């Protein structure tokens, strides 16, 4: 031990890579817990912790008496890849690009103030960018930050790269995020930037990000061209999913 990495993380990493390289193919059984215990000179705890992680990602299926088997391989993403468009492109092997339309400091309207849990008309920093995938328009991004967070961006060249990375480097604590996914017709700005007709279908992802003590640090609205991005989710029975479908009515 003492390699700076917890045992259960090591086991998780080993199993994940072995699964994604099809060393353990879909339908195959995984090594039993006791085998893994021996191989990693560990007790059952860390092994079961690793299994639990993979199960919650939908990679494996297990049950009393049954061998644990590999399900159809599904890509899984890190938190960073899920919150940052730049990081997602990098992980997927694409080149991210951005053309900033505006960086604004303004008072929050009531809806935004509620989303950021700040006083109405409290100052916020808003960023409006067209984002590219391998040089082609792919997404329209509207980001809003409370001034305390957004001040780090007023002097940042928003055409140069990842805002998320810059905020992390500036010491902003981003711990968790809630995303809401729906479909919406393009508004005039969207249509012009993406080169489509007004009302054409877009995949909208609204995101709220929070610090570890629950303070909102971001409220954003991303609109993807269909065909550019889609979301895939794996759910296993008995494992309640973090995704919920909500009616707007």
Partner DNA sequence: CGGGTTAGTGTGTCTATACATTTAGTCGTC
Partner DNA sequence: GACGACTAAATGTATAGACACACTAACCCG
68 touches DNA by CB under 7 A: yes
Q: Other CB atoms closer than 10 Å to residue 75's CB: what's the count?
A: 11
In the window 23-82, what residues touch a copy of itself (CB under 8 A)?
A: 26-27, 52-53, 56-58, 61, 63, 66, 69-72, 74-79, 81-82
Instruction: Judge residue 242's burial from the number of C-beta atoms within 10 Å of its C-beta, 0-12 exposed, 13-18 middle, 19 or more buried.
Output: exposed
- CA–CA dist 223, 25 (Å, integer): 36
Nearer to a copy of itself by Cβ, of 103 and 184: the residue is 184
Nearer to a copy of itself by Cβ, of 147 and 177: the residue is 177
**Residue 219: CB minimum distance to a copy of itself, A:** 12
With CB under 7 A as the contact rule, the residue among 28, 39, 45, 75 that binds DNA is 45
Residue 171 binding target from a copy of itself, DNA, none, CB below 5 to 8 Å by type? none
**Residue 42: CB minimum distance to DNA, A:** 4
53 touches DNA by CB under 7 A: no
In the window 21-40, what residues touch DNA (CB under 7 A)?
A: 30, 32-34
Is the Cβ–Cβ distance between 201 and 185 less than 8 Å? yes
Instruction: State how far the alpha carbon of 123 is from the alpha carbons of 65, 105, 144, 219, in Å.
Output: 59, 7, 10, 14
Residue 41 binding target from DNA, a copy of itself, none, CB below 5 to 8 Å by type? DNA
Helices 44-56/7-20 angle, 10° precision:
50
Q: Other CB atoms closer than 10 Å to residue 205's CB: what's the count?
A: 19
């Amino acid at each position: 031990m003492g390699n700076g990495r917890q045992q259960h993380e090591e086991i998780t990493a080993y199993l994940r890579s072995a699964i994604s390289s099809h060393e353990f193919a879909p339908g195959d059984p995984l090594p039993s817990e006791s085998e893994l215990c021996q191989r990693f000179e560990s007790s059952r705890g860390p092994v079961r912790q690793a299994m639990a992680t993979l199960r919650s990602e939908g990679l494996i299926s297990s049950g009393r008496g049954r061998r644990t088997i590999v399900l159809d391989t599904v890509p899984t993403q890190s938190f960073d890849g899920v919150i940052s468009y730049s990081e997602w492109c990098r992980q997927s092997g694409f080149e991210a690009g951005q053309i900033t339309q505006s960086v604004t400091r303004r008072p929050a309207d009531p809806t935004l103030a509620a989303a950021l849990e700040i006083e109405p008309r409290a100052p916020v920093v808003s960023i409006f960018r067209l984002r590219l995938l391998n040089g082609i328009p792919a997404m329209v991004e509207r980001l809003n930050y409370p001034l305390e967070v957004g001040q780090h961006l007023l002097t940042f060249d928003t055409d140069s790269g990842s805002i998320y990375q810059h905020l992390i480097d500036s010491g902003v604590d981003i711990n968790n995020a809630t995303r809401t996914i729906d479909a919406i017709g393009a508004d005039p700005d969207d249509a012009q930037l993406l080169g489509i007709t007004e009302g054409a279908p877009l995949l909208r992802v609204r995101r709220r990000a929070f610090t570890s003590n629950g303070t909102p640090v971001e409220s954003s609205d991303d609109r993807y061209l269909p065909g550019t991005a889609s979301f895939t989710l794996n759910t296993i029975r008995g494992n309640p999913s973090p995704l919920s479908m909500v009616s707007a009515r």
